[in-house]
């Protein structure tokens, strides 16, 4: 971003902003996660409309397919829900989150 001398072309009220933090789109990446059923609402806008869950590996856990714009956003989501969510697939998503977590741990060893 850079400042210019160009005049403002729109008033603030002419710019439409979404009421949600994240809006899913068909171009987003889909990721399957396992999460505590009670924590499912924390996924909020990452859950596409009409998402159905499946039973998880243990009682109280469910699998859900979420949408993310990119894996960086997935890493932030995993950090925010640390210990609550586990990325199951695709492998690229699991690797991205695992590599990010390992890099964070390694920073403490330095």
> What is the residue extent of each domain of the chain?
19-105
* Bridge partners of residue 86, in order along the sequence: 34
Q: In the prediction, which pLDDT does 97 show?
A: 95
Q: Which residues of the chain have pLDDT under 70?
A: 1, 12, 15-25, 110
Backbone angle region of 60, left / alpha / beta, with phi > 0 → left and psi within -120 to 50 → alpha? left
Assigned architecture for domain 19-105 = 2-Layer Sandwich (3.30)
Distances (CA, A) of 68 to 81, 85, 92: 15, 14, 13
CA-to-CA distance for 78 and 81, rounded, in angstroms? Answer: 5
Position of tokens 């330095």?
110
Q: Is 37 helix (H, G, I), strand (E, B) or coil?
A: helix
């Amino acid at each position: 971003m850079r400042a210019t001398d160009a005049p403002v072309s729109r008033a603030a009220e002419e710019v439409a902003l979404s009421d949600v933090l994240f809006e899913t789109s068909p171009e987003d990446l889909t990721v399957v996660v396992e999460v505590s059923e009670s924590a499912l609402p924390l996924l909020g806008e990452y859950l596409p409309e009409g998402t159905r869950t499946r039973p998880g590996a243990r009682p109280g856990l469910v699998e859900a397919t979420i949408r993310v714009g990119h894996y960086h956003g997935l890493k932030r989501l995993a950090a925010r829900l640390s210990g609550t969510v586990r990325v199951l697939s695709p492998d690229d998503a699991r690797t991205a989150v695992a590599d990010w977590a390992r890099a964070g741990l390694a920073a403490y060893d330095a």
